[in-house]
Chain A
Amino acid sequence: MEGVSYQRFPRVKIRELKDDYAKFELGDTDASMANALRRVMIAEVPTIAIDLVEIEVNSSVLNDEFIAHRLGLIPLTSEKAMSMRFSRDCDACDGDGQCEYCSVEFHLRAKCMGDQTLDVTSKDLISSDHNVVPVDLADSYAYDSSDQQRGIIIVKLRRGQELRLRAIARKGIGKDHAKWSPAATVTFMYEPEIHINEDLMETLTLAERQAWVESSPTKVFDLDEATGQLKGCLLLQEVVVVDHEAYTYDEEVIKKAEAMGKPGLVEIYGKEDSFIFTVESTGAIKASQMVLNAIEVLKQKLDAVRLSEDTVEADDQFGELGAHMRGG
C-alpha cells in the first residue's frame, strides 16, 4: 500500500475555556485518538488526594472509615502533581510515602463548643504545602462569598463533639481510585452534518414545518423570521439549522419526517474525523491543563512502547506501525 501513512496532524480548535470547563474541537483525526485522550483524562492524569488518615479523636456521628472516605474524595489543587513522585517509587522515603517529595500532610482539628452545629468543611484542613490545598470553587467564581460558602462539608458536630486527625495526601491516578481522577466529565461527540432537502421542505406548510421543528428534543432547527419577512409573507418561513451541535443523534426529526410522509427531508450524519469535546474538571487542575497533561501522559505511554525492546522483536506483529513509532 503505497502512500499510506499512519501520521496524522490533529487540529484543536478551542471553543470555550473556563477554569473548570473546556469545550474544544478535535479535528483531522479518528475515534481512536479522541477516545485515547478521553480515557487518559479520566484514568491516567495524576492528581493529589488524601490517601492515609490517622484519626486521633473522633466523637462525631460518622465513623472513622466514613470520614476517611469523605476526606479522600475532596479534590486538592494538584498543579504540582505531574512533577511529584509516586510514593511507591520514591527513593527519599523508601516508598513509605511520608516525605516531602511524594506526600503532603494535612491536619484537622475541630471541636464544637457552642450550641449550634458546627460544620467541619474542607476549609478546616490545614495543609503543610500551600500549593496543595482543598479546592474551593467559591474562590474562582464570584459567588457571594458569605460565611455560608465554606468549602465541602466533611461532617457536622454538635456540642462537645470533636474531630482531630492527621492525613497524608499522595499522588495517584484515576485508575487506582476515582478520587485521583481530575475529570468530572469528559465526553465527546461526532460533529453532526445536517443537510435539509430544500425542495422537499418547500412542499411543507408552515404548521407542518413548525411541528417538524418542534419534534426535535433539542433546539437544532428553527423557523427563520428574516426569510419569512423577506418573502413578504409569514407563512413560508424557511427552516434553518440554528445549532447543529445541539443535535443528539436521536433521529426524532427523521422519524417525524417519515411520519409526515416525507422521508429524506433531512439527512444527518456524523463527521468521522471531527469531535467536539466537553471537559469538566473537579477543580484539582484546570480543565485546559488536564487536556495538556493527558497529551503528555499519552506521549509518555507511546514512548514506552517505542523504546521497549519488545516492539523491535514484535515487528512482524506491529509491522509498519512499529517502525513508524520508532521514528522510521
Chain B
Amino acid sequence: MGKQSMGNIAYNELCRMDTLLYLLVYPQRPLLTTRTIELVGYDKLGAGQNATVAVMSYSGYDIEDAIVMNKSSLDRGFGRCIVMKKYSAINQKYENNTSDRILRPDRTGPAAERMQILDNDGIAAPGEIIRPNDIYINKESPIETRGTMVSSTGQSDSKYRPTRQTYKGPEGETCVVDRVALCSDKNNSLCIKFLIRHTRRPEVGDKFSSRHGQKGVCGTIIQQEDFPFSERGICPDLIMNPHGFPSRMTVGKMIELLGGKAGVSCGRFHYGSAFGEPSGHADKVETISETLVRHGFSYSGKDLIYSGISGCPLQAYIFMGPIYYQKLKHMVLDKMHARGSGPRVMLTRQPTEGRARNGGLRVGEMERDCLIAYGASMLIFERLMISSDPFEVQVLAHACYKGLYHLLHCTLQDNIYLVPQVCRVCGLLGYYNHKLKAGICSTCKNGDNISTMKLPYACKLLIQIWEAFLLYL
C-alpha cells in the first residue's frame, strides 16, 4: 500500500514500460478494511495477501521480527512476485552521418550460443528465456564517428566494431524477455526498450510487512507437515513472534486478526478502524468476538493448536487468524553479495565499493579498532595491506631510522626477505631503473643505499602528494 509494497500498481500495469516494476502474482483484497480505504478505492488494487498468521514462537528462526513461512503456501503462490526491469539500447547517429547498425545474429561461430534469443532482426524476441551473458541486441558502432561526412549507407564492415549489449542478471535464474518496444528518442534516433521479467517466489531474507508497520524478514521456510495445525485443519501460512506486540503496541493488528477471522467465517468484510463505532464505520471488538463465537471459535480468537512435529497439542492457546501481509520490494536476490578477488579502483588500487561494482566488504575504522584491541596484528596487516593494496617501492633510507625506513622497521622486523630497498641516506622514495636493473634514488642520484619495501599503495600515494608540496616523511 505504501511505496515499498508490491501489488497491482494501476489498471494499465501490463502496458507500461517502467524502469522497474514490482507486481504480485496473486494480489488480494484485504479482509479487514476501513471506510477510507473503500472511499479512495484502495481495495480495488490489491497490495498484498491475506495470510493466516499464528502468533507464536516456532523454531527460533522467528526472533527479532523474523517470520516463519509455510512452504506449501509459497508453492501455492503466496508472496510470489513479478519483477520487470527495463533495459534500453539506442541506435545512435553520429556527426559524420554514420550511425549504429543492428545486424542479424551469427547462427554459427563463437558468439552463436550467446545470440540464441535473438530474432533475425538482431533484437531479442519476446517470450525468450534470457540468461546472464546473453546478447539481447546485436549492435555495431562505426569506429570513425567524427570528421568528414560519409554517405549513410555505403560503409564497409571493417569500419564498424561490435557494441553488443549483454544481459547481466542474477546468476542461475531464468528471466524472460517480456516485451520489446521500438520508438524514437528526442534526437530522433531509434530507441529499443526491452522489458525483462523475472518471477520470484519468496526466499529466506525477503521482507514482508503487515499494514501496521510490523515489518520482518522471512527467517526460515518450513514444510507444511511440520507446521502446527488446528483440529479444523487450518494450518497457518506464516508464524509471527509474539514479542513484536508488547513494545510496539500494535493493537490494530490484533483487531485486524480478530476482524479478519470473523470476516472469513461470516462472509462479510469488517471494518477495522478504531473510531466511528456509533456511526457504523467501525466494528466493535465485542461484536466481532461474538461473531467468532457464533461460528464456533473461541471469544478471544485463540485456538487449540497441535504441533505438526509431534502431534501433541500445544500447551498454550494460539492467537490465529488472517492478517493482510504485503511483500516489500527489498529482496535478498537484489542484495546478496560476496567477493573474493575482483576489480580495484584505479586511483588507490584498493578494492571497489558496492555491490554493483562487485566490491569488497570494508574492514572499517571500528572493525579495525576491535582487531587492535584484540591484538590480532597479523590479521590487521593482512586485511589492511595484503588483501587490499600492497605495493613495492624503492626507497632511499637513512641509516638512522629515518622516514619510511623507520616505518618499515616498525612493521617488518624480518629484514632477510624484505631487505628494504630504500635509500638508507635520505629515506625517500626511489624508483627501479630497468636499464641498470637497480634501484635509483633520484635525490642522491645513485643506487647505493636503495632498498625495496612493501606498503599500501594508498600510503605511497599520500607520501607522494606530500612530497609534491615539499613535505618529506
A contacts, CB < 8 Å to B: 31-32, 34-36, 38-39, 42-43, 55, 58, 61, 63-66, 69, 73, 174-175, 177-179, 181, 185-190, 217-218, 246, 248-250, 252, 270, 278, 280
Contact = CB atoms under 8 A, between A and B. Distances in A.
Interface in B300-350: 302-304, 306, 308-313, 317
Contact of A63 (B197, B299, B312): B197
Given A188-B306, A280-B233, 8 more contacts: A43-B225, A175-B225, A179-B76, A187-B229, A190-B313, A217-B299, A249-B231, A250-B303
A35 B227 CA distance: 12
21 contacts: A32-B310, A35-B309, A55-B127, A61-B14, A63-B176, A65-B176, A66-B199, A69-B80, A73-B76, A175-B223, A177-B75, A178-B71, A178-B72, A178-B75, A179-B75, A181-B224, A217-B296, A248-B296, A249-B231, A249-B313, A250-B304
A318 B309 CA distance: 20
Contacts of A61: 14
What is the interface residue range for chain B against chain A?
Answer: 35 or more
B82 interface: yes
A174 B7 CA distance: 28
B43 interface: no
Contact of B199 (A65, A177, A188, A190): A65
Task: Please give me the 10 A-B residue pairs with the lowest Cβ-Cβ distance, nearest first.
Answer: A35-B311, A185-B233, A178-B75, A189-B231, A178-B72, A187-B233, A31-B311, A39-B225, A249-B304, A250-B298
Query: Which secondary structure characterizes the binding site on chain A?
Result: mixed
Contact of A186 (B25, B80, B230, B233): B233
A34 B225 CA distance: 13
A165 to B, nearest CB: 12
B178 interface: yes
Given A58-B127, A187-B233, A248 B303 contact: yes
Contacts of A174: 72, 224-225
Contacts of A63: 82, 176, 178, 197, 199
Most buried by A among B72, B73, B197, B313: B72
Nearest to B77: A69
Interface in B129-188: 176, 178
Interface of B: 14, 25, 71-73, 75-77, 80, 82, 127, 176, 178, 197, 199, 223-225, 229-233, 292-299, 302-304, 306, 308-313, 317
Contacts of B229: 187
Contacts of B197: 63
Contacts of B223: 43, 175
Contacts of A186: 233
B299 A38 contact: no
